[in-house]
Each structure stands twice: as C-alpha cells, then as structure tokens.
Amino acid sequence: MATVMKGRGEIARLDREVAEGFLRTMMLIRHFEERSLELFTKGELIGMCHVSVGQEAVAVGVCSELRGDDYVASTHRGHGHSIAKGADIGKMFAELLGREAGYCKGRGGSMHMADVGAGFLGCNGIVGAGIPIAVGAGLSIKLRKTDQISVVFFGDGATNIGAFHEALNMASAFNLPVLFVCEDNMYALSTKTGDMSGAKCNADKGTAYCMRSRVIDGMDVYAVRDATRELISAIRAGEGPAFLDCKTYRYYGHSKSDTRPYRTKEEEAEWRSRDCITTLADKLTAAKLATAEEIEAVEADAARQIEESIEWARQSPFTNPEEVSKYVFAE
Amino acid sequence: MREITYRQAITEAMDEEMARDERVILMGEDVGLFGGAMACSKGLYEKYGPERVIDTPLAETAIIGGALGCALTGMRPIAEIMFIDFTGICFDQIVNQAAKVRYMLGGQVEVPMVIRTQGGAGRSYAAQHSQSWESLFAHFPGLKIVMPATPYDAKGLLKSAIRENNPVMYIEHKALYNNKGNVPDEEYLVPIGKADIKREGEDVTVVAHSRTALMALEAAERLEVESGIDVEVIDLRTISPMDEETIYESVRKTGRLVCFEEGHRNVGIASEVSARVTENCFDYLDAPIMRVAAKDVPIPCATELEREVIPNPDWLVTAVRKVLGEREKVPAAVGYTSCV
Ligand SMILES: Cc1ncc(C[n+]2csc(CCOP(=O)(O)OP(=O)(O)O)c2C)c(N)n1
Ligand SMILES: [Mg+2]
C-alpha cells in the first residue's frame, strides 16, 4: 500500500513570502481559467478548452519544488501546469486566440500549450500520451548524466491506459528520475475513479511498479509541496522514480458542454468549501500573517495581470495563412 | 417520413438493433448514463441497463480487444472510440487482430463487431482531434468501412453494420450530428458496399464521402447556377469494399472525374479512386483526373490556418472548372498543381 500522508500545512510552517507566492500563482491560474471560459463562451476563443479550476494547488505545489531546467509534461487540462512552470501568460492567451505570438504560433491551441525552452514539454490531446514522453526525458537525463528531473501530470483516468503502465514499468526498470503526479479529481469525464479500476487508489499502481508512492490532499498546496519535496530529494539522490497521488476536484464540467449529470451539487459544494485558495488565504489571516486587504490586493494584481495579458494577445496579429505549411519539417 | 438529426439516426439504429437482438451491446468511454461524448447513446443506458450499455475505463486497447473477445464468443458488440484519432492507441487490436482473425484462423470464426467512431475537422480541435483516417483503415483487407453523410444513410448503414458478421468501422463526422434529414417511418437498411448517386449529372463526376459529399452537392448547385455545369455527385457511403461499378458507370458517361475528400491528399481515398478509374476507364476519360483533399499538413488549431488546410466547396468548384477546361488561375491553396 502507498503511504497516505496527512496534510502538514500547519500555520506555524507558513512563511509569509512563500505563502504569498503560492497564493498569487494559484490566483493567476484561477483567473486565467475563468477568463478563458468566458472568452470561450463568447466565441472569442474556439476549439477545446479544459480548465483546471479547483486543482490549482497541485500544479503550484509541485512546480514550486522544480528547478528551471527540470521538465514537465502535461495533459489536456494543462493551463495551470504551464503557468506554474513559469510560462508567459500573454503568449498563452495569444495561443488560445490563434495569434502568431502564441507559444505554438496558433497551431496547437489549448490542448497543445507548450514552452519547451522553459522545460514545459507540453499539454497533450491524447490521454496518457505525455507519460512515456516524460519517461523518455528521464532517460535522456540519465544518459546525459545531469541532475535534472522529469515530472509528468496526468489524471485518474489516464492510470487505466496502457501507456501509463508501460511508462511506469520502464521508469522503474531503468531507475529513471521521474516524478509521476496523478491529479485524481474523482472523475474521468463522467466516470468515477473507483468504478473504473480494481485498484483501491491510484498510488497503488505506483507501488505495483515498486516506486515510492504517496497519497496527499491535493487541495492543500503545502501538503503537495512537502510531499513533492520529499519525493524529489529521493529522485535527485538517484533512488529512482516516485508517484504522487493528489486528491483534488475540478469545479467545472469536463469541458464546456458537460452539464455534470454524474455528480451532485452537494458534492461540488463540499469540495468548493475546501478551496485551495480560500483555505490558504484564511490560514494567513488567522495567523495574522496577512490582512484581508493585503490578500485582496494580491488577487487584484493577479486579475490585472490576466486582463493585461488578454489585451496584449488581442492586439497581436493573427497567424499568417500563407505560412500554414511552416513547421511540418525541420529545414 | 420523419425528419430527424444525424445524431438521432445513430441512436435509433442502435436502439432498434438492441431491441431486436439481445446479443448487441454497446461499450466505450462515457457511453452510459452520460450518453456518449457526442450524445449518440442518450437514453440507451436507461433502457437497456449497465450490462448492455457499458461504461469502460479510459483504455482504447481494452475496449477494442474486449469487443473482439465478445464478438468471438457469442456477442455482437458495438465499441465506441470517442475520436478516430484515438484509434492510434488500439490500432493493433483493429488491424492485426479484428481485421485478420477470421482469415488467419482459416475461417473458424466470424467477427460481428462494429467500431463506431468519429472524425473530421472544422472545429478548431487541432491536430489530434480533427483527423480523417479512413484511408489508413481502408488499407487493410478484412475491415469494412462505412461513412454516412445523411441521417438516412447514418441509420440504415449502422443497422446493416450491426447485422454484419465482419468487423465494420462506422465513421461519423463531427460536423454532421445536428444536420437534419428524412428517414422512413418503417424499418429499412442501407446495404454496405453500395455507393449512392446523390445528384445526377452529365458533365463531370465527383466522388466524395461523408461531409465532402454534402460539400459536393453545394458546389454542384453553384456550378449549375453560375455556369450551367451539370455535376454528378457520387457518395461512396462505403469506403471499403468500394462500389467500383457505380463510379465506372458514371465516368463512362461524363468522361471527367474529380475525387474529393477531407483526408490528406497523400495516399488517400481520392488517390485510390483515381487509380482505379485510370486502370478501368482510361479510354473514357476526356481530361486528367483531379484530387481535391486536405493539405499534407497536420490540422492546425487557429481558424485561419485550419481553413487553409481543409478542403471546401470553393476548392471543388475550381477543380471542376479546371477538368472542364476552363482556364482559370488555380489558387495555390488547392494544392493540386501537379495535375497541370
Ligand atoms: C486516448 C484518449 N482517450 C480518450 C480521450 C477523450 N478524453 C479526453 S479527457 C478524458 C477524461 C480524462 O480523465 P482524467 O485522466 O481523469 O483527466 P481529467 O479530465 O479528469 O483531468 C477523455 C475520456 C482522449 N483525449 N484520449
Ligand atoms: Mg480525472
């Protein structure tokens, strides 16, 4: 059995600067996602757009422990990972709005957001497909003999696909520096995690491949950070891959058209009451580390940054149809 | 006659066949209470229960392999793969297992299974959710491939596919689900392996399928109104095995052919139709055959770029004029300069 860890985000451990950083990044992601949805509803943003509202603590807690040269591979729900890894928000909006200034020059859109230069290997439209790629990055790290690590985010649903199992097995067999981060938001589209696997929890699948595996409250950014810190230090010490199973929740539907007939309003309210942003803000004020006004100021600042980024993206030119064949092959 | 949508046609076909034969089951991701990602199985779970409308784990290999195992042992499964792009994951189960098992085993088994999936572009879903992979699957003997363009064909072909004792890939088009059309009140089937002449004409034959069949009708109207050109539109309906005779007969009449598809131009269905007509109707041809297809570029996300890659009725209009000898400057976008 994987070790289930209690959230250890006690107030005493909160250091104001770190906490404010967490709060700020989580708020940036929240605003980015909420505004993306609005743009989507208005038709300014088209295609697909899977938002991660509710799950911000996982992206932020994990990425806060990464170095700039570490790698991250992501999923169809990857805007948060991208922001937490340090991507430029203006370029992200530009991508969503089909602009030349977008990270993928408008060719990828939401599901293929990537900032490879910053180690963000990209979102992915195929569930599970990022997992073997992250293992490959881990293999490359081993062959190049650096002390980087490779991190891959994936959903509970992805733990049922073959690519996941092949990748975990290889990472384990080759003792690769890979951290597998499962964002268990309780559902793969409409199906419940527990109904779709005989395993009691996702982390048991990490244990099955003989890697250090932890189960953690994914709504608590400190709990995620602490567990990540422990696992990464083992990985960097050459002890092989590890698995982090984060229990979290997506507040909205799978995508825009999903009316969520498979879950109850009560369940949604229960998870929202444990919101990663408000919980942290409340802890900070209760410990008198910040005033409500100061927290509002952080939020206002995040909101402003998002608006400015959208405006910047809107002002930037559309893609050039004449160059549609560019980037099929390297010259 | 009643008017229903393409989506309703699919639901009705499954419903009627499940009522008719209790060996018919539906399995796939979110096909149960949720009713399917494209909402094609709405109501079936309530009617037939979780043993016949089965929500599977997110595991395409297990879905297709599981359906195949069922088919080999007395069931008649319909397996849904949410996007044809995801058949990459279960390619082995489709082409190495389902397609070949009967032949490899010397005819010991029948494989009564349907793989229902959906493809096509036009929604800015980008490179992994917009593809047209029919030509890939058409390469393999042992698979039948059907692609309806209208609600009438959608219902009749799916019912035939479910009754077929061979693996059938039934490929829907994501842009057609809300299209409406007439279907008979009484039961009917559309035979697999039979193309449909959707518009009769004398001057030029256009062979298309799925959404391009509808685009061809639109282009044909315009050509008639604008230039009095009389286009015959053949909707393949079944990609494999292909109804060659209907095509040849038409080309013998018109002497001109444009092949029109949404898949990439390289090694596509249009290429196949063109090759067969060249081999069999060369003496009847009055002009080189032209292909109008998607550019050989992964489908981009941004609207302006996607529009540049996916064929549209304008491209077809230009190509038809060209095979009729109207000397027009062909826009580079059409991408068939090699035919000049
Ligand atoms: C191989 C594959 N199968 C199916 C899909 C369609 N699909 C996209 S996301 C999704 C659910 C994924 O669930 P999970 O892994 O738990 O991630 P979540 O959406 O909950 O973040 C499905 C079925 C896909 N994109 N790729
Ligand atoms: Mg999930």
Domain ranges of chain B: 3-182, 196-336
Is the distance from the beta carbon of residue B82 to the nearest atom of ligand 1 less than 6 Å? yes
pLDDT band at B326 (very low <50, low <70, confident <90, very high): confident
CATH 3.20.20.70 fits B3-182, yes or no: no
Running DSSP on this structure, what letter comes out for residue B95? I
Instruction: Let me know: does A123 contact A113? Beta carbons within 8 Å.
Output: yes
pLDDT score at A256 = 86
pLDDT score at A11 = 53
For the cut 90, the answer to whether the pLDDT of residue B329 exceeds it is no
Phi and psi (nearest 5°) for A129? -70, -25
CA distance B96 to A80: 39
CA distance A112 to A7: 33
The residue count of chain B comes to 340
Domains B3-182 and B196-336 share a fold: yes
For the cut 50, the answer to whether the pLDDT of residue B333 exceeds it is no
For the cut 50, the answer to whether the pLDDT of residue B332 exceeds it is no
In chain A, what are the domain boundaries? 3-316
pLDDT score at B338 = 35
Stretches where chain A sits below pLDDT 70 are 1-13
CA distance B202 to B229: 8
CA distance B278 to B333: 25
pLDDT score at B304 = 95
Average pLDDT over residues B142-167: 98
Q: Which residue of A has its CA nearest to B125?
A: A47
pLDDT score at A315 = 98
The answer for residues whose C-beta is within 8 angstroms of residue B178's C-beta and 6 or more apart is: B5, B6, B7
CA distance A151 to B215: 46
For the cut 70, the answer to whether the pLDDT of residue B6 exceeds it is yes
CA distance B245 to B268: 20
SS3 (DSSP) at B218: helix
For the cut 80, the answer to whether the pLDDT of residue B267 exceeds it is yes
Instruction: Let me know: does A182 contact A243? Beta carbons within 8 Å.
Output: yes
Q: Is the dihedral of CA B320, B321, B323, B328 positive or negative?
A: negative
Which of A49, A53, A76, A195, when mutated, tests ligand 1's pocket best, judged by the most ligand atoms within 8 Å of its CB? Answer: A76
CA distance A147 to B72: 51
pTM of the predicted model as reported, rounded to 2 decimal places: 0.96
CA distance B165 to B142: 11
Helix (H) or strand (E) holding B64: helix B60-72
pLDDT score at A46 = 87
pLDDT tens-place string over residues B76-113: 999 999 999 999 999 999 999 999 999 999 999 999 99
Which of B58, B90, B93, when mutated, tests ligand 1's pocket best, judged by the most ligand atoms within 8 Å of its CB? Answer: B58
Average pLDDT over residues B225-235: 98
The answer for residues whose C-beta is within 8 angstroms of residue B188's C-beta and 6 or more apart is: B155, B156, B159
CATH topology of domain B196-336: Rossmann fold (3.40.50)
| Residue-averaged pLDDT of chain B | 96
Distance from CA of A171 to the nearest CA of B (A): 20
For the cut 60, the answer to whether the pLDDT of residue B127 exceeds it is yes
- Burial classification of residue B27, based on how many CB atoms lie within 10 Å of its CB (0-12 exposed, 13-18 middle, 19 or more buried): buried
CATH topology of domain A3-316: Rossmann fold (3.40.50)
**Active-site residue identified among B129, B173, B209, B264:** B129
Phi and psi (nearest 5°) for A294? -65, -40
CA distance B273 to B290: 10
Average pLDDT over residues B49-57: 98
* Predicted complex: ipTM over 0.85: yes
Tokens read off for B111:
């494989």
Question: Is B129 among the residues known to form the active site?
Answer: yes
pLDDT score at A15 = 85
For the cut 70, the answer to whether the pLDDT of residue B340 exceeds it is no
Q: How far is the CA of A194 from the centre of ligand 2 (A)?
A: 11
Average pLDDT over residues B19-31: 98
pLDDT score at A50 = 97
Q: How far is the CA of A236 from the centre of ligand 2 (A)?
A: 28
The single residue listed with the structure tokens 């199985």 is B41
